[in-house]
Structure formats: C-alpha cells, structure tokens
Structure 1
C-alpha cells in the first residue's frame, strides 16, 4: 500500500556533492515545509554519499544506483528512475526536484505550486520558465537560450544526428510530437529546482518515457529533455519565478544577492555556490542565520502569547 504525502522532494546526488551542504539543504526543507513530505535521495555518487546522509536523517528514503549515469541524458535517466520509484511507493500532490546546491528560504513554497497545478491541471512542470532566444528573469538577468535552440536543431535535424543515431532519432521523433503540441524550440523549466505534478509523472510513465532509455546518450541537459517530453504528451510548462512567485534561481551562482533574494521573499533559490565574491559557505551561513533568527522570534512570540510555558 502506498503512503500518502502532500509533497515528495527528490534530490539527486552526484560524486562531487558535499555532505555538509546536502545536510544544510535538508535542514532548510525541514524548517520551512510545513506539510507532510518525504525526501528521496537519488544517489548516483558511487561513494555511498546517500548512506551517509541517511545516517544523519534516518527518515529519508534512499535510492542507490548501481552504475553511474552521469550528466545530460544520463541525469534524465537517474531522475526518471527516481520519479518511477516515487510513483510506485507514494501517493502525493506534487513533487519538488532540487539540486544539492538549491535551498529553501521561505515558508511553504509548495503552496503556490499546488495552486498553480490545481488551476492549470495540464501544467506538468513549473519553476523558472524559459522561452525564446534571450529571456529575462525577474531580476533583469538576460538568459542565453540560443545555444540550446541551436543544439536541439543540430542533434535532431543535421548530420550531427548520425553521431548518436539511436539517441538522436528518438529525440527527433519526440520533438516532432512536441512541435505538434505547440513546443517553442528550447523552452524549458530550469532544472536546479522545479515542481512537477503527480498527473504529469503518471502520464510520462504511461507513455514509456520514465525513462526512455534510448535518450541516455542525448547531449542535452535533463531539464531540456523533460521540457520536450512534457510538450510531446500535451502538458504545458509553468512560471513560478516572476514577480512575487517563490523561485529565485540561476544556472551558475545566484540570480541576485542573498539580501535581495531574502527581501523579495524568494522561497527556493539556486545556486548557493556563489554570488559575486561570496562563496557557498558564506551564502549558506546567511540563510542559516535567518532560520535561527526566525526560530527564536517564533519561540518568543509563542511564549508571549502563552502557548508555551
């Protein structure tokens, strides 16, 4: 019998992930997500990093991969196997996929996602939504999407297709289905952190795309692949980044300073690896101090209100 949760969090772990940073990310989930949830570590490290994390947090689930799948299409395989595991073991409202260098920085970011998926059930993936050649995020950063658009065309519709014919012919077939459903070449939801609905994952599984093993050798990032797959089965991609929405994510480093992200109320951020001269330990310390301060204030409020003796 499947266990029911509001939220499933899937965190893929590779060979270069640091235990102390994974621990901090999990602590941010535990502090800010006030719902029923289950964390699944998808361990592709081949270093038993997942086992170390489970020693610290015995309540998490751990999926160990027997062989390294790596990046690009390989990460799509790793995540697909994790999503398949989730479907087989849990019932849930939605799933949050997040990298180890993503962080929860505000209370209940899942609430906005639940609202989006409820109002738009044909949305499959939501987060930092990118479309066109040079989209601009809510902080004014111009995102280079042109490489991706050119790469997709090259892999599926030029002689480069022949370098990995099985993978690229499979990609081409799925792309044609996506184009029929309005896919704008290169549109995607950034993969550092995003929400997906249970319905979307079930439909991917029913279509034989969780995973489609022939895509393992495709030289696209997993978020690019999932964007194409979503459109191929008539699902849309959704925005949870613009304005006051909860995501504040960029590919390399943060999209804005920790102070700005905090002041604007962003609830899921990526990447904690750097912001200008700030390095990951300093960025994590900034947000950890915010959690400590909030926790102390909450306890003070409870004492003053008489709910704690």
Structure 2
C-alpha cells in the first residue's frame, strides 16, 4: 500500500505517531480527537502504519490533515530496529514535504489534554538552538531522576566485542556514533522518554545529513528507538533537555499515568502517557475520564470566545 501524503505548502507543526499492529482503532481515534482538540490548527499528523490491513484517512478523522507512511516489511530487521527504520523513513518524508520548526513524536497511548505544548517547544528551541530534543529527560514530571543505566548497558554490549560477534556491522557503526557523541558530551544511555518528546527541525536535518537516520547498519539493534535517538541527537551536535518539570507540558511515565487525570490537569500538563492504567483503572475508564475533561475544557473555551465576541463594539 503506497504512502498517503497530505499536501500542504504553508508552514506547519508536525506530530509523528507510530501505530502498531495491535493498536485499537477506537483508541487511535480517541488519541487523534485529543490532538485535534488541543494541537495548533496548522498541525499535520503523520502516522507510521504498522497495521496489518492498512490505515485509511477517512476512517480516522475528517477534521485533521493526516499523512500515512506505510511501514517497511518486517524481514531483515530486529523489532526495535524496524521501528527506528520506519521512524527514519517517516522523518525523511516529513522533511521533504513540510515546512516546520518542531516535530512531536508521540505514542498512540498518549493524549493531549491541554493547549500550547507545540508552541512551548518552539519557543524553547528558539531560545537555545543547541537543544535538539525536549522531553522527560533527566527527571520525570514528579521530579524523580530517570535511570539511564539499562540503555547504557545495552549500548555497551552491542558495541562490544561480543556485540561484534553477534552483529559486526551494527557494532562497528555504534562504536563510530558513540565516539562522536561522547566527544560532544554524551552520557551513555541518556535519552528522553519516547512516549512524547519534541525534536527541532535543525536537529532532524542534521541527523539526516549525517547519515544517522535510515542507516541500514542500525536495523538489527535492540536499543529502544528513544534510546537510539538520544544517542543520535548528541552525535549530530545537539543536546537533549528536560521538558516535564513544574510549569512544563509533559506528564509522562513509561507504564501507566504518573497521576490521576484530574491531578494532571491541575498540574497544567498538556500531554500525558500512558493512559493504559492508573491505580487499578483500565484504559477505557481513563480515556472516558479524559474525554469528559476534554469536553468540559472545550465548552469553557467556546464560552470565553462567545463572551469576547459579544463584548466587541
């Protein structure tokens, strides 16, 4: 099935979301509805389609601009290497077809629950061009330090002599990239949580120009895509920074939600992950709760707009 490219000539904001073979159609449309409700109106949603039957734009949303990039066949890749390859392919498509400053990479079990995250990221990148990635980086939204040691151990093995025996092309390439990144200040294993994180246009272009995206030698890696991208960002000459602290938009943990839906709204979080569980509640229950909160916010916003228009002379 060919890619389905939404043609847009104006400047836009991009959200990149992988859709796995086991993703629920209902949950996908709910996440898209949250994006439509709170993203900037110039947003293009780019879906990496790993479903068996293939996604169709008409079944997803008739309100959003959506591009669908069909995933590569599974042969010749590790599971994680395939995701890296497919994300790389989609990023190439985005850079070729769209004018943008910020790309938000977001899982389909994340939700937007407030406005302004994309503009917040654009401002942060413009204030410090050395930043290439923003996310839940060194600390979680609750202030806990994140542990990079598992990723560091995996990287160390894959670039070791034992890794060379298992996959020589992968080991050699990772060694080269790691040495460049270490020279640039890389801490082994560092990465932003991939559930929802932002990349600058300049960082993505540098990664593409440096041969760091779509590199066939990396297609057999066991590094998670966020762990690998954490390395590639620094190898491209940029750095990652925190975007989940007090007053910042991300409210994420790897498994389950970091707090209840109402608490996350009180914390002024704008993107949350994962809605699969929290304190014994399941995904359907949590999504319904966020949908009610979303509807209430939209009603309040509509009321403010109506009041403002009525007060105009």
* TM-score (ref. length: structure 1): 0.91
**Alignment check: 8 A CA contact 2:159 2:170 kept:** no
| Aligned positions of 1:68-107 closer than 5 A | 68=74, 71-107=79-115
Tell me the residue number matched to 2:267. Answer: 264
Cα distance between partner residues in 2 of 1:151 and 1:66: 25
Per the alignment, in what secondary structure is the counterpart of residue 237 of structure 2? coil
| Unaligned 5+ runs, structure 2 | 1-6
Counterpart pick for 1:129 among 124, 131, 137:
137
| Aligned positions of 1:280-299 closer than 5 A | 280-299=283-302
Counterpart pick for 2:67 among 51, 61, 76:
61
The number of aligned residues is 301
1:29-76: CA deviation from partner (whole Å, max 9, x where unpaired) = 11112341111111022331x22x543325411111241366322211
Cα deviation for residue 210 of structure 1 reads 2.1
Tell me the residue number matched to 2:39. Answer: 33
- The structure-2 alpha-carbon separation of the partners of 1:88 and 1:221, relative to structure 1 and needing over 3 Å to count, comes to same
Counterpart pick for 1:117 among 125, 129, 144:
125
Tell me the residue number matched to 2:116. Answer: 108
- The structure-2 alpha-carbon separation of the partners of 1:227 and 1:259, relative to structure 1 and needing over 3 Å to count, comes to same
| Aligned positions of 1:145-164 closer than 5 A | 145-164=148-167
Counterpart pick for 1:255 among 246, 254, 258:
258
| Aligned positions of 1:14-25 closer than 5 A | 14-25=20-31
Per the alignment, in what secondary structure is the counterpart of residue 12 of structure 2? strand
Residue 181 (structure 1) aligned with residue 187 (structure 2)? no
Per the alignment, in what secondary structure is the counterpart of residue 116 of structure 2? coil
Tell me the residue number matched to 1:231. Answer: 234
- The structure-2 alpha-carbon separation of the partners of 1:164 and 1:245, relative to structure 1 and needing over 3 Å to count, comes to same
1:162-195: CA deviation from partner (whole Å, max 9, x where unpaired) = 2111112211111011111110111111111111
Cα distance between partner residues in 2 of 1:221 and 1:54: 31
Per the alignment, in what secondary structure is the counterpart of residue 77 of structure 1? helix
Tell me the residue number matched to 1:42. Answer: 48
**Alignment check: 8 A CA contact 1:249 1:255 kept:** yes
- The structure-2 alpha-carbon separation of the partners of 1:304 and 1:229, relative to structure 1 and needing over 3 Å to count, comes to closer
Tell me the residue number matched to 1:133. Answer: none
Query: What is the root-mean-square deviation of aligned Cα atoms in Å?
Result: 1.9
Per the alignment, in what secondary structure is the counterpart of residue 186 of structure 1? coil
Residue 218 (structure 1) aligned with residue 221 (structure 2)? yes
Residue 240 (structure 1) aligned with residue 243 (structure 2)? yes
* TM-score (ref. length: structure 2): 0.90
1:249-281: CA deviation from partner (whole Å, max 9, x where unpaired) = 111111222222111011011111111201111
- The structure-2 alpha-carbon separation of the partners of 1:163 and 1:84, relative to structure 1 and needing over 3 Å to count, comes to same
- The structure-2 alpha-carbon separation of the partners of 1:81 and 1:289, relative to structure 1 and needing over 3 Å to count, comes to same
Q: Which runs of 4+ in 1 moved over 6 A?
A: none
Cα distance between partner residues in 1 of 2:260 and 2:247: 16
| Unaligned 5+ runs, structure 1 | 131-135
1:274-301: CA deviation from partner (whole Å, max 9, x where unpaired) = 1120111111111110111122223333
1:106-136: CA deviation from partner (whole Å, max 9, x where unpaired) = 1121121011100111211111113xxxxx5
**Alignment check: 8 A CA contact 1:149 1:185 kept:** yes
Cα distance between partner residues in 2 of 1:176 and 1:157: 13
